[in-house]
Amino acid sequence: MFNLFIHWLYTQTLPTDATPILRIAEEIVPESVWTLILKSSVFGDRFLAPVFRRLAHNNFVDLHLTNTVGARSGVAYSRIIWGFENLPADSLLLAMMVDLQCTVWKVADDSKSEQDLMLKLPHEFLLKVMATQSEFKQQSVTAAKLRACSYHLHETDEEKQACLLRSRRK
């Protein structure tokens, strides 16, 4: 994570693809990119680097909602548990985790290790999933209706409008 921060200090950018992120971070395990980006967002917040935080936050959203094959992916339980322990209750990342759980999660997709972690999911997460699931049923919300821009952090209103326009074109 610190390597990513140093990279950002020099370039003021973060890569948006997993491979360069892992190369910069000197990580070997591809799955760790998700956790690395999530933790980088919190790091940026705690160390008063709001631009780094916003870039990491938005990368985490994009990795889940606008990945290269266009398929949405759920969030691993270990990241949900960590997120609910380390992010503020009103975090857009937590909202995205809940929304993805309600729209893309399938019991059959959980590995044995995920099934073991299911029992450790935070009570607050489970309550939000129940409430959101009920709301989504009434509104017929599907994964296809989730827009990354809804979960991005935007610096200005103009940036938010541009993001909304880009997401509508996809």
Percent of the chain with pLDDT over 90: 50
- Break the chain into its structural domains and give their ranges: 2-156
Is the pLDDT at 68 greater than 50? The verdict is: no
Q: Supply the pTM of this predicted model.
A: 0.85
pLDDT band (50, 70, 90) for residue 98: very high
| CA neighbor of 43 nearest in space, from 3, 92, 100, 95 | 3
Q: Which pLDDT score is estimated for 50? A: 94
Q: How far apart are CA 126 and CA 33, in angstroms?
A: 25
Average pLDDT over residues 8-14: 92
Instruction: Return all residues near 25 (Cβ < 8 A) that are at least 6 apart.
Output: 1, 3, 4, 36
Element (H, E) at 161: helix 157-169
In this prediction, residue 169 carries a pLDDT of: 67
Contact 100, 128 (CB under 8 A): no
The number of CA neighbours under 13 Å toward the Cβ of 23 is 7
